[in-house]
Each structure stands twice: as C-alpha cells, then as structure tokens.
Structure 1
Amino acid sequence: MIELAWFDALDAERQAAVEDMLALAVEYDAEAGFSTARPSAPGVGSVRHLVVTIAPVGQRGSGALDALPDVPLVAYLRLDLVDGVGDVQLVVRPEFRSHGIATLMAELLAGPDGWSALPGLREVRSWSHGAHPAAERMARRFGARVEHGVFKTLRLLGGSRPYRAERAEVRLDPAPGRPPVLVPGHEDAMAPHELAVLRAASELLSVGGVPGAVRLGVGATVPVTAGLAVEDPRVSRDALRVLLGQGLIEAQARGARVAQLFVDALVDDFVAVSRELGFEHDQSDHLYALAV
C-alpha cells in the first residue's frame, strides 16, 4: 500500500513535493510544534531522505484511505548520520495521520529496504514533542527507549504571582550568537513560538563572584513572555539559584508576565532549582533511541 524510497539528494520535483507537504504540516502543527524535517537545512554528517508514497485511490485496500487525497507523497523522513547514529525527523501529511501510515513505515523500515539499506547505521534517534499523542505508543510497539528528556517550564510573574527576592548587582552584556544547545537535536522538537522566545534571549546576565551566566530576553508576545536560558546548567546549585533568580527579577522589572525555561531532565540540580524558584512543568520532550 505504501512504498519507501531512499535518496542521497532530492531532485527538483521531489523537493517541491516535500516542501508543499511540509508547508501544510507547519500550518497544521503550529501550536503543537512537531518536527518540520527541513529537507534543505545544512546537514550533520551524511544526509539521507526517505520519501513515502501511497497507492492510487482505489488500490489502497481501505475505503477510509481511498477517501483521502490522491497526492504524490504521504510522508517524509530525514536522517542525519554521524558515526553510526542517525538523527531522524519524520513528518506525515496531516490528512493521512491516524490511519496507520507511521506504523506501516516502521514495519517496512525493519525490512531489507529500510534501515539496513543504509551502510553503517547502528542506531536511530528521534525527538518527540510532549504533546504528540502517538509517540509513546509507537516507541513501546517498536522497542525504542527513552534516551534523554527536556522539561519545558513556565513561571508566572507580576500580578498575583510576583517573584520576590533581594536584587543583586548584575551585569548585562549582549549575548554572542544563539543560546547554547541544551541537548543536541532538541530544537527540532520545539514549537515555533517556543523557539522564538528562546532565540529572543539576546542579553547575558551575570553576577559578580557567581560562576556562569543566564541569557535573558523579553519579547512582544501577549502575555509578555521572557525567555531564560542557562549558559551552563552544570554549575553549582547555588549558582543556578542566584542566576535564575536575578533573571526573574530583571524579566519582571521589564514587564514580563511569564518566564519560559527549558530544563535538562538529567541534571538534578537544574531540575531542583527550577522547582524551588516556582517554575512549573508545562510539558516533557523525549529523545527516543532504537538499535537497528
């Protein structure tokens, strides 16, 4: 019913078909933030593209599937392969979701035309956004394990939930480049509005005598949201508490009513301090890994 085809590069026709499908998916998933699997983005290691097509209407073996559009492709997978580990981004065309397409893909990928067709591939990994309804079910079915996790946390500011603490003398400098990557690949699992808040953190806040720094930025969102990003989450618990606390004070003084912070779930002190400061869990993003 569906067919898989691997390509080292996409020709103009396939590239256009993938881009059209991704445009639909981006709009459909705007709030959920599922991966858009950008085919033209710079690669990490060697890049492979998997294009998934479906039989014509009338030959799909299901009345429900025959009622869906006659389109050139129904799913796209991008794999970036480095040292035997492939980072995967997968998008299924919105109209074809909840019809077993991803399940069929997983079954075919386990066969001779799937992962084994890529020499040197030992493991595949994929991030799942916390709101994705099928991720955990698919992971259980195909034996994937949770390799890592990131918590999205929010802290209300001002109004009835002000943050109160003694203000220290801080230094604010322009932050170089983008915020550091908390966990490799996690940004691909973030919703566009989450990523915009994170990348707006354009100032670097430091406190004399305290190791590390925190990035800070207050955008024009409603409600006004501040992005906070710790430069090095493995500094001491005391340092994290001071840096994040002063970041909250500064954000609140600038009129922010919400602070967004992504927390590495495997750094215990980072998790503990975020809770102490009143950040509340909003969602969990998981990195799944599967030996092939």
Structure 2
Amino acid sequence: MILHEWYRSVPEDLRAGLRALLDDAAGHDAEAGFPRVRPDDGPDVHHLVVHLLPDEREVVEDRGVPVLAAYLQLRVASDGTAVARYVVRPDLRSRGVTTLLFEKIGLDVHAPDGWAGTGAREVRIWARGDHPAARRLTRRFGSHDISRTRHQWNLLAPVRGLRRDDLLAEVPAAAEVEVRDVTGPDEPAAVRGMLGTLAGDPPADGALVRVTGRSGVDGAVWVDVTADEATEYGTAGRIHGPAVWPDGRADATRAALLVAAMEEIAGAGLPVAALVVDGDDDRLVHLTRALGFVHERTDAEYLLR
C-alpha cells in the first residue's frame, strides 16, 4: 500500500528524507549518466511525495512505518503544458510503486483543474534508458493517451590522445568553418536563442561556448568539462549541442563545432566526451559516428495528453 501527498513547497520535516532519497538515487544512477533531481521550489512547481507501507508479511524492524519511496516534480507552464521528473528509491524499484501510484491518482488531464489538480493538461516525462517499466506503464494505462513521442541517443567518444587531423580526415568540410569564442556584446542573446534547438537539458552555468559565423552567430556548442560524469571509459566532459541555424553549411558547421568541443575536453585532461543527439536526426548520427562516438544508452520521452 502506498500513501501520496501533493505539495507546493516541500515541508521542512520531509526535506532531509527527500534529500537522502535523491542522493541515494543520484549515486545509484551516476554511472548511467542520469540527471540529478533536486526538490527546487517555485511558483510553477508541484511536488508529489510517495510513501510505501511495508508488507505485513515482511520481517522489518519498523513494521507499519511508511518508507519514503518516490518523488515526482512537476513544472506547469501557464498554458497547461508540464514537464515531470520522477525518481523511485533504488531498493524499491520493480516493486510496482509507480503502477500503484497512478492507479490511485489517475491520469485524467481533462478534469477542470487539470491532472491531479495541478492545472496540467499535457505532461511530458523522460524515461532514462527507456526503462522497461515505462513501457509496461503505457500498456497498463493503454486507455489513456500516453505515447512515446521521441527518443535520444546518449553517445560517448574517447578523446585521450585526440588528433585533430584524424577527425578532419573523416569530416574534411569542418576544416573550412572557423570556430571561435563568444566575443561581441550581442552574441550571448543569439546563443541563448539557440537553446531551444538543443537536445537534452540546457548546459550547466559556466559551460564554455564556441560559436561559428564571422558576422552574427551561425552555430554554437556548449562544453562542460566539470560535469564529472562517470562512464565505463572514465570521467566524461559533456557536450551540449551543436545548435545551428539550418542552411546549406549546417553539416560542416556542426562538424566543426563538435571537433572544437572534443578538443576542449581532451585539453582538460578528460578521457571521454559525452553527447546527446536526437535519434531521428540521421545526418547528425552519421556525423557523430564518423567522429568516433558510440551508442551508450537510449532515452525516450513519453507524453500524456
């Protein structure tokens, strides 16, 4: 049996336990590169905290004491579109917590006050690793409009001992594109305007930026050498992008930006570069393969509407 409660701000008496749950999940999922969830408050944020009551048949020290089992964070925009992030305590996964939760709160986004009273009319959530539990959930609640809308590939490329000439031999057009640092006073705004074209989460504050285009910005890539992401090949630096304006030189621009980002990560002494790409972007997928990236994990976005 589960207990659940919605909050607009996480109560003080739950914060310590929730932080412990999220820290435990972050440590458990770190090697897979899953993003860390934080219980941030805000005017558009709803928090759902889930407790699990121990099965009476189990031998436990604190029989009947609820265990903090899961946390869902929902950010609802003024138009009713919402983005959810969800974490289940690692030692309680595959116990049916999520199925029980949605059986209790339902998935009705047509109610006058939106899903579960949050005002959400459309909810998007990513299944990192496209976990089988996510697909089971869509089958279980097949009468509702839950669909797998898109997928992303998480890629890794070794960069230790990187030779720029070797990369350019695979994508020679990249050598014709000048890549530089952000310089002009108007460029940061143009770079921020490209954020919407990026795959994955926005880059961390302080990430280095490289851009192309002598007059204005034609493309940009963000490089975070402090991401501290554990992989089976060692600690990775994270590449966000590349984002480019679509034109006849888009492929060459993306290639040049990726080469510059890989050089940045290698120069920081890191052994591997991590990158997320849209699995349906065949041209970019082909380009990353030419540059030595290999598939690590597939993430899938699910939509409830």
**What is the TM-score with the length of structure 1 in the denominator?**
0.73
Secondary structure class of the residue paired with 2:152: strand
CA distance in 1, matches of 2:37, 2:253: 38
Residues 209, 37 of structure 1: alpha-carbon distance in 2 compared, 3 angstrom cutoff: closer
Aligned to 1:54: 52
Conserved 8 A contact 1:75-1:90 = yes
Residues 234, 12 of structure 1: alpha-carbon distance in 2 compared, 3 angstrom cutoff: same
Aligned to 1:212: 218
**Residue 26 of structure 1: CA displacement?**
1.6
CA distance in 2, matches of 1:69, 1:174: 58
Residues 69, 20 of structure 1: alpha-carbon distance in 2 compared, 3 angstrom cutoff: farther
**Residue 141 of structure 1: CA displacement?**
2.7
CA distance in 1, matches of 2:206, 2:127: 23
Residues 170, 76 of structure 1: alpha-carbon distance in 2 compared, 3 angstrom cutoff: same
Residues 284, 68 of structure 1: alpha-carbon distance in 2 compared, 3 angstrom cutoff: farther
124-133 vs 165-174, which deviates more?
A: 165-174
- 4+ runs deviating over 6 angstroms: 64-69
For 2:83, give the aligned amino acid. D
- In angstroms, what is the RMSD of aligned CA positions? 4.0
**Residue 17 of structure 1: CA displacement?**
2.5
Taking only the aligned residue pairs, the percentage that are identical comes to 29
Unaligned runs of 5+ in 2: none
**Residue 138 of structure 1: CA displacement?**
2.4
Aligned with residue 87 of structure 2, among 88, 91, 97: 91
CA distance in 2, matches of 1:2, 1:41: 24
Q: Does 1:172 align with 2:171?
A: no
CA distance in 2, matches of 1:209, 1:116: 47
66-75 vs 261-270, which deviates more?
A: 66-75
Conserved 8 A contact 1:125-1:288 = yes
**Residue 257 of structure 1: CA displacement?**
5.2
Q: Does 1:19 align with 2:19?
A: yes
CA distance in 1, matches of 2:127, 2:88: 14
Residues 164, 69 of structure 1: alpha-carbon distance in 2 compared, 3 angstrom cutoff: farther
Unaligned runs of 5+ in 1: 189-194
Q: Does 1:136 align with 2:150?
A: no
Q: Does 1:104 align with 2:100?
A: yes
CA distance in 2, matches of 1:67, 1:33: 34
For 1:204, give the aligned amino acid. R
